[in-house]
Structure 1
């Protein structure tokens, strides 16, 4: 019996390791354990029974949302994939924030290379989810990856996809930790934007400080997130919807959230008001065959 099989046997005999949400002290953890997991459950749980479903999380990050779906919403099989290994911190994070001695057997994780095909190893899953990941995928990989995820699903399977913030929205640079000027990334040259980030002093909003911050240090993290900004694919919501349909998905439901802010007049000469204010998109997609 492998390690995961032994853990499942333990859980059948004695249940999941005890946990206590009253211990949570980290705001990044709280946001992903509560808000993100609840939204995923609302969208995915309304389309299939996550307690019996085999789920794939594309871009699982640190795995906090996956952990919450198991502990708070009864998910029994989630496999997370990511190009980074932030999920390796989850045992320590769960111990610190919840007092858990071990992770649930329902969770498995895997590191992949960018653009890796998954369907030959993960075919037949009931549902896929992706939280704030697809804005980071290279444009030339978007359609192939979406087609591959389509192939991962069983017939009539569902895919929940969320992006926030979208690139052209006020803080679509993903740099709000350091820069509170709305649409700044669309208004100034890149070197001016970097100078703003580099010069930032003081604290960062606790909800924006992920568990990778300590790996980089203050200056290293600035360089890391700025490189992430430079690599954003700049997708609009309309482009994303067109791509998922091209990949074969049926859009069963979508929601677009927009900010109540007036874009600068000079930007309205280049982009529509809708694109500039559209901050977030939720999509529930279904495999049509």
Structure 2
């Protein structure tokens, strides 16, 4: 019997390992364990029963949100995929932040190369989720990946997709931990932005420090986040809606959240105001067939 099956059997007999949310001290952990998990559950919970659904998390990162969906919302089967291996830190993180001796057997994870097809191995899932991932997918891969995810879903299955921040929003560069000037990435050169990051000293916002920070060190992390900025696909909410529909999804619900900041005149001369203020997009998508749950 595999280790995962033994763990499932143990949990059936004795329950999940004890955990205590009062131990949480890390703000990155808290944001993903509480806020992100609650948003995912709010959007998906009305479309399927997370307690019985087979779920796929595309771009699972460190797996904290998946862990919260199991512990706080009763999910029983989540498979996370990512091009990085941050999820391997989850047992250590859960022990430090929750006092949890082991990660639930409901969670499984997989590292994939960018653009790797999933439908051949993960067909028939009930729901897919993706949190702040698709702004990092190269444009030529967007449609193939979305079509593959569409093929992963069972008929009638749902897909919750969120992006924040969108590129043209005030802090759409993803560099706010180092540069707090709104829309600076649309106003300054890349060289100027890099100099600001290089010269940054002192602590950064604790809610922006993920568990990969220690792997890179201070200077390495600066280089990492700047390369991530350079690779952003600059996707807009309208473009996202268009490509998910092209991939075969029906948009059941969407919400766009704006930032209450006034763009500078030089940007308003180049871009629509709604594009510059739109910071976040939420989409609930469905695959045709199977019928919606009662």
TM-score by shorter chain over 0.5: yes
Distance in 2, Cα, partners of 1:120 & 1:265: 50
What are the within-5 Å matches in structure 2 for residues 162-181 of structure 1? 162-181=162-181
* 1:193-212 mapped onto 2 (5 Å cutoff): 193-212=193-212
Partner Cα distance (2:197, 2:181) in 1: 11
1:113-152 mapped onto 2 (5 Å cutoff): 113-152=113-152
Q: Which residue of 1 aligns with 2:92?
A: 92
Q: 1:217 offset after TM fit, Å?
A: 0.3
Which whole-Å CA distance do the structure 2 matches of 1:174 and 1:112 have between them?
A: 23
Q: How does 1:219-230 map to 2 (within 5 A)?
A: 219-230=219-230
Q: In structure 2, what is the equivalent of residue 239 of structure 1?
A: 239
Q: For 1:91, what is the secondary structure of its paired residue?
A: helix
Aligned residues: 289
Answering whether residue 9 of structure 2 is matched by residue 13 of structure 1, we say no
Distance 1:47 1:205 in 2: 35
Inter-partner Cα distance in structure 1 for 2:155 and 2:3: 31
Q: Residue 251 of structure 1: SS of its match in structure 2?
A: strand
Q: How far does the alpha carbon of each residue in 1:151-201 deviate from its partner, in whole angstroms, 9 at most, with x for none?
A: 000000000000000000000000000000000000011100110111111
Q: How does 1:1-289 map to 2 (within 5 A)?
A: 1-289=1-289
Residues 235-288 of structure 1, C-alpha deviations (whole Å, 9 max, x = no match): 000000000000000000000000111001111111100000000000000001
CA distance in structure 1 between the aligned counterparts of 2:103 and 2:188, rounded to whole angstroms: 45
CA distance in 1, matches of 2:134, 2:232: 9
- For the residues of structure 2 that align with 1:187 and 1:134, how far apart are their CA atoms? 24
**Matched position secondary structure for 1:122:** coil
Q: Which 5+ residue runs of structure 2 have no aligned equivalent? A: 290-294
Q: Secondary structure at the match of 1:149?
A: helix
- Mapped to 1, the partners of 2:31 and 2:54 lie a distance apart of 24
TM-score, normalisation: structure 1: 1.00
Segments of 4+ moved more than 4 angstroms: none
Partners of 1:219 and 1:199 in 2: CA distance: 10
Partner of 2:292: none
Distance in 1, matches of 2:209 and 2:84, equals 17
Rounded to whole Å, the distance in 2 between the matches of 1:227 and 1:169 is 19
What is the RMSD of the two structures over their aligned residues, measured on CA atoms? Answer: 0.4
